[in-house]
A and B are shown apart, each in its own frame.
Chain A
């Protein structure tokens, strides 16, 4: 009776474990009617428990599945009688589809059927594990993994599920361990014994669960990876910041970070004489996580084709030489938003009304429903900035309106001090904004920052996006570089803003001269920096390694004062890495003029430079060494067998036998100093349950103590020796 009861308990817990697998389905997938599966499991396990004949169980299970399917999918539509042929028809159809491996065409009904079959198998497995094998650990462990993975990577909250699983899992394992012992020792169960086992077991499990539940828990080491996964599931249009996204142009920049996957969807085709970046919008407030707008929507200004746009990027005065140009844009998708070059003057397009969101400096088309893919010409002034004018400005003489200055030098209060310190360090030695910002622009390439779209970190709740990039990851894409540059520039007091848009794209015609046709895809989505110089206007900068924004400067001043002698800001191909170059230099000097002290110095220098690496390598090696030593029982015997495989001289008998003694000692059978081999061998044989050690020892004693030396004694005894060595494998 008691035994039946505890079997029932086992089944109950087994049911709970499987149930944990089904529970999340309702929340995470569009599975409905979960209660049907619940019912099915209940009945299947009950019949298992009651040990009904398998034919009966088969029929009942089949019937439940059949009627469940019918109830869910057909009953409403076709009625009781009409459903049957429909069901059969659908089953046959699906089966054929399955044979053709067209998995996507399988209907929900058939999938449900497969799921039922899976559950059926599970219920059988549970019965097998519980009753036949008396082991549930693997299933318990898998359940835990399943639940924790779901908890981590999906919105499913498994807090209670973990508790349920742990409690029922441990109870089950405890009960099963008891039964395993009983069966091993062939003990009859008596009621009292069972309760003596069960009460402390339940006590332990409950108390430890309570303690675990009440105990304080450390925060996770990694930031929650859920955003990655959720965004991965959703479309790129609907992207949530911080996840793996398809690369491309998005509007919400409040949470930056995370990896991108390339997306070469064509966005627009541009015909232009000089390739240039295409702006889409700008933002000004850095929150520590991303970009937002400082002001409410100021509404839009409307204008029509040919009308001068109400937007001025830079002043038209002696500081900026302009050249009027025309580019043509053909959008490839129905996007209201349109792109424009720096220095935009007007749009030319037939009958399309435009609007400008002044806050964002974002142009869009007031859509008529039918104009899906607009084509337009943009007329713009290509500027050449006077470096003379630019270098005249510094923190003390900019004379900017304080509201404007504050708006574009805004930084979050939580910004770590080390960012500001870094900014000061970078700009030190330059007394004007232009040289300072050029210094910041080039900082990333100089300092070994890496451009990558993958493995890009997302800042944790307490981390700053820029701080993380500057000091920890040093790896990212345009958003990282541009945002970091702005934060550094603003820290240095230079007004800057964040610009989003596209790079010039890929030229698809011609040889590089004259008017080119460029394909701009989502991969060309980009962000960069504009800095404001009084008397000149917004000037673009490109901090991202590997990119260049061709901006022309007129060098109308002494060359010395400019940090770069190039006419254009170039992509920092000229990367210098002074920090890393140092040690190589050191070693070179050491080897060229050889002397011990120098060698010593260079060694010490290398040690100083890499001490962290060295220490961690030493620790790792020590750890591996320790582990190997601790686990030597698993490999050392094999090693010895291998070593002595081809050593057949009789002298090797002695060594081999001593090795065996040593291994036996490690195994826990140590010969006492004053113990003879003969009596030791008896002990070993007693422990191992055979006679091999005595046989081997008799041979060895004859070899050791007797006068006649038999030839080949070792060869004859090798097999015995190998068996004994193998017996010491832990």
Chain B
């Protein structure tokens, strides 16, 4: 009864692995977000290969890829696009911004002003942008991978908590392990592997999969397990603000797509546990005492996973 990885997903992961050595976990999580229609926040220092990964993902899917480099002087219209008066046509003509792509890398999102940030975040939530009274539907699929420098860095505008909620997952990439980095050097020595990546699936196929993910069965016991976990975050002694119901929904969706990726048509508690930290940790606000003690949100979530009883019996409905 061992469930094999979904073959298409496996192909995508192999593609990403060509450019991103040893980051399968990050790649998997990104796919989880993609398949459940969510977005990813990567918190990491520059140069660890965030762009590479998103580009590899985009190429594997045959989707168009856009990149927005956020700078302090970037304007909302630089993100969404702008209507320009065309004297020939005697009319305003819409020039779509980078947000109109399908797979978007929003680099260093916390370096731009909150106004510009919210332009992106609104688009992520609504799947559409309204410019000059005209609503423009965003692409489908629409997947944003935002990166931010660790907030301790100088010259950043930290994302407001409410905005963070818009990201399905937050994860870290980290430096490659020593041997992996050597391997990376050898690979890029002659040619960039990213150029060699071929699409392994159609966009239509992706939409299909996104639909199938929603059908993955979540048992009542699993739902109550998720809710139980969310409740724990709300009552935890170190937590100032716990996970909202949107967080619970996010966890369920993520678990669904994770189960789907692993060839299962039902969610196991293992899926929930695996994703809980990535889904929840950016949705809770720790008390300042806890922060001072050096406690991390991830640690709190791990603790909560440990104490929340895993359902091992049929739930009595």
Q: B222: which A residues are within 8 A, CB to CB?
A: 705
- How many Å from the CB of B222 to the closest CB on chain A? 6
Closest to B269 in A: A676
- How many Å from the CB of B278 to the closest CB on chain A? 17
The answer to whether A654 and B221 touch across the interface, beta carbons within 8 angstroms, is no
The answer to whether A704 and B221 touch across the interface, beta carbons within 8 angstroms, is yes
Give which listed residue, A678, A701, A707, contacts B217 with CB less than 8 A. A707
Most A CB contacts (10 A, CB to CB) among B217, B267, B270, B306 go to B270
Q: Is A672 located at the chain interface by the 8 A CB criterion? A: yes
Q: In the complex the two chains form, what is the Cα distance from A424 to B264 in whole Å?
A: 94
- How many Å from the CB of A435 to the closest CB on chain B? 83
Give which listed residue, B269, B307, B308, contacts A677 with CB less than 8 A. B269
Give which listed residue, A661, A702, A705, contacts B221 with CB less than 8 A. A705
Closest to A651 in B: B314
Q: Is B305 located at the chain interface by the 8 A CB criterion? A: yes
Q: Which of A647-704 contact B (CB under 8 A)?
A: 654, 657-658, 661, 672-679, 695, 698-699, 701-702, 704
The answer to whether B305 and A674 touch across the interface, beta carbons within 8 angstroms, is yes
- How many Å from the CB of A100 to the closest CB on chain B? 72
Q: A708: which B residues are within 8 A, CB to CB?
A: 265
- How many Å from the CB of A143 to the closest CB on chain B? 54
With contacts A695-B1, A698-B1, A702-B1 known, is A674 near B307, CB below 8 A? Answer: yes
Q: Is A706 located at the chain interface by the 8 A CB criterion? A: yes
The answer to whether A706 and B217 touch across the interface, beta carbons within 8 angstroms, is yes
The interface size bin for chain A is 20 to 34
Most B CB contacts (10 A, CB to CB) among A661, A678, A705 go to A705
Q: In the complex the two chains form, what is the Cα distance from A45 to B122 in whole Å?
A: 96
The answer to whether A704 and B219 touch across the interface, beta carbons within 8 angstroms, is yes
Q: B264: which A residues are within 8 A, CB to CB?
A: 706
A-facing mask of B271-306, CB < 8 A → 1, else 0?
001000000000000000000000000000000011
The answer to whether A707 and B307 touch across the interface, beta carbons within 8 angstroms, is no
Give which listed residue, B266, B268, B306, B313, contacts A658 with CB less than 8 A. B313
Q: A679: which B residues are within 8 A, CB to CB?
A: 270
Q: A661: which B residues are within 8 A, CB to CB?
A: 312
The interface size bin for chain B is 20 to 34
With contacts A699-B1, A707-B219 known, is A676 near B310, CB below 8 A? Answer: yes
Q: A658: which B residues are within 8 A, CB to CB?
A: 312-313
Closest to B315 in A: A704
Closest to A694 in B: B2
Closest to B219 in A: A705
Give which listed residue, B270, B273, B309, contacts A673 with CB less than 8 A. B309
Q: In the complex the two chains form, what is the Cα distance from A677 to B305 in whole Å?
A: 14
Q: In the complex the two chains form, what is the Cα distance from A699 to B2 in whole Å?
A: 10
- How many Å from the CB of B97 to the closest CB on chain A? 43
Q: In the complex the two chains form, what is the Cα distance from A658 to B311 in whole Å?
A: 12
A-facing mask of B238-270, CB < 8 A → 1, else 0?
000000000000000000000000001111111
Q: B311: which A residues are within 8 A, CB to CB?
A: 704
With contacts A701-B268, A702-B1, A707-B266 known, is A673 near B310, CB below 8 A? Answer: yes
Q: In the complex the two chains form, what is the Cα distance from A702 to B3 in whole Å?
A: 11
The answer to whether B266 and A705 touch across the interface, beta carbons within 8 angstroms, is yes
Q: A675: which B residues are within 8 A, CB to CB?
A: 310
The answer to whether A654 and B310 touch across the interface, beta carbons within 8 angstroms, is no
Closest to A653 in B: B314
The answer to whether A677 and B2 touch across the interface, beta carbons within 8 angstroms, is no
Q: A706: which B residues are within 8 A, CB to CB?
A: 217, 219, 264-266
The answer to whether A654 and B313 touch across the interface, beta carbons within 8 angstroms, is yes
With contacts A674-B307, A698-B1 known, is A707 near B314, CB below 8 A? Answer: no
Q: In the complex the two chains form, what is the Cα distance from A708 to B311 in whole Å?
A: 18
Q: In the complex the two chains form, what is the Cα distance from A698 to B313 in whole Å?
A: 14
Q: B270: which A residues are within 8 A, CB to CB?
A: 676, 678-679
Q: In the complex the two chains form, what is the Cα distance from A350 to B314 in whole Å?
A: 109
With contacts A673-B307, A699-B1, A702-B1 known, is A707 near B268, CB below 8 A? Answer: no
The answer to whether B310 and A702 touch across the interface, beta carbons within 8 angstroms, is no
Q: In the complex the two chains form, what is the Cα distance from A704 to B311 in whole Å?
A: 9
Q: In the complex the two chains form, what is the Cα distance from A348 to B130 in whole Å?
A: 152
Q: In the complex the two chains form, what is the Cα distance from A677 to B273 in whole Å?
A: 12
With contacts A701-B268, A705-B266, A706-B217 known, is A674 near B306, CB below 8 A? Answer: yes
Q: In the complex the two chains form, what is the Cα distance from A695 to B2 in whole Å?
A: 8
The answer to whether B312 and A705 touch across the interface, beta carbons within 8 angstroms, is no
- How many Å from the CB of A271 to the closest CB on chain B? 94
Closest to B1 in A: A698
The answer to whether A704 and B309 touch across the interface, beta carbons within 8 angstroms, is no
With contacts A672-B306, A674-B308 known, is A704 near B314, CB below 8 A? Answer: yes
Closest to B266 in A: A706
With contacts A658-B313, A704-B219, A706-B217 known, is A676 near B268, CB below 8 A? Answer: yes
Give which listed residue, A657, A674, A678, A699, contacts B268 with CB less than 8 A. A678
Closest to A696 in B: B1
Q: B2: which A residues are within 8 A, CB to CB?
A: 698
Q: In the complex the two chains form, what is the Cα distance from A657 to B311 in whole Å?
A: 13
A-facing mask of B9-41, CB < 8 A → 1, else 0?
000000000000000000000000000000000
- How many Å from the CB of B262 to the closest CB on chain A? 11
Q: In the complex the two chains form, what is the Cα distance from A661 to B310 in whole Å?
A: 13
Closest to B229 in A: A674
The answer to whether A676 and B217 touch across the interface, beta carbons within 8 angstroms, is no
- How many Å from the CB of B257 to the closest CB on chain A? 16
Q: B269: which A residues are within 8 A, CB to CB?
A: 676-678, 705
Q: In the complex the two chains form, what is the Cα distance from A435 to B268 in whole Å?
A: 95
- How many Å from the CB of A484 to the closest CB on chain B? 72
With contacts A676-B273, A698-B2 known, is A705 near B307, CB below 8 A? Answer: no
Q: In the complex the two chains form, what is the Cα distance from A708 to B310 in whole Å?
A: 21
Q: B268: which A residues are within 8 A, CB to CB?
A: 676, 678, 701, 705
Q: B217: which A residues are within 8 A, CB to CB?
A: 705-707
- How many Å from the CB of B277 to the closest CB on chain A? 13
With contacts A698-B2, A705-B267, A707-B265 known, is A677 near B313, CB below 8 A? Answer: no
Q: B307: which A residues are within 8 A, CB to CB?
A: 673-674
Q: In the complex the two chains form, what is the Cα distance from A295 to B18 in whole Å?
A: 120
Most B CB contacts (10 A, CB to CB) among A676, A702, A708 go to A676
Q: In the complex the two chains form, what is the Cα distance from A677 to B221 in whole Å?
A: 14
Q: Which of A701-730 contact B (CB under 8 A)?
A: 701-702, 704-708
Q: In the complex the two chains form, what is the Cα distance from A672 to B306 in whole Å?
A: 8
Q: In the complex the two chains form, what is the Cα distance from A678 to B312 in whole Å?
A: 11
Q: In the complex the two chains form, what is the Cα distance from A673 to B221 in whole Å?
A: 15
Give which listed residue, A657, A677, A695, A698, contacts B310 with CB less than 8 A. A677
Closest to A702 in B: B1
With contacts A658-B312, A677-B312, A695-B1 known, is A702 near B266, CB below 8 A? Answer: yes
Closest to B264 in A: A706
Q: In the complex the two chains form, what is the Cα distance from A701 to B310 in whole Å?
A: 12
Closest to B311 in A: A704
Q: A698: which B residues are within 8 A, CB to CB?
A: 1-2
B-facing mask of A220-262, CB < 8 A → 1, else 0?
0000000000000000000000000000000000000000000
Q: A676: which B residues are within 8 A, CB to CB?
A: 268-270, 273, 310
- How many Å from the CB of B12 to the closest CB on chain A? 24
Most B CB contacts (10 A, CB to CB) among A672, A674, A699, A702 go to A674
Closest to B2 in A: A698
Q: In the complex the two chains form, what is the Cα distance from A255 to B46 in whole Å?
A: 107
- How many Å from the CB of B268 to the closest CB on chain A? 6
Residue contacts A-B, CB under 8 angstroms, 15 given: A657-B312, A658-B313, A674-B310, A676-B268, A676-B270, A677-B269, A678-B268, A678-B269, A678-B270, A679-B270, A701-B268, A704-B312, A705-B219, A705-B222, A705-B268
- Show the binding face of B for A, using Cβ within 8 Å: 1-2, 217, 219, 221-222, 264-270, 273, 305-314
- Show the binding face of A for B, using Cβ within 8 Å: 654, 657-658, 661, 672-679, 695, 698-699, 701-702, 704-708
Closest 10 CB pairs of A and B: A706-B266, A698-B1, A707-B217, A674-B306, A676-B269, A676-B270, A705-B219, A678-B270, A705-B266, A673-B309
Given A654-B313, A675-B310, A706-B219; 5 other pairs, CB 8 A cutoff: A673-B308, A674-B273, A676-B269, A704-B219, A705-B268
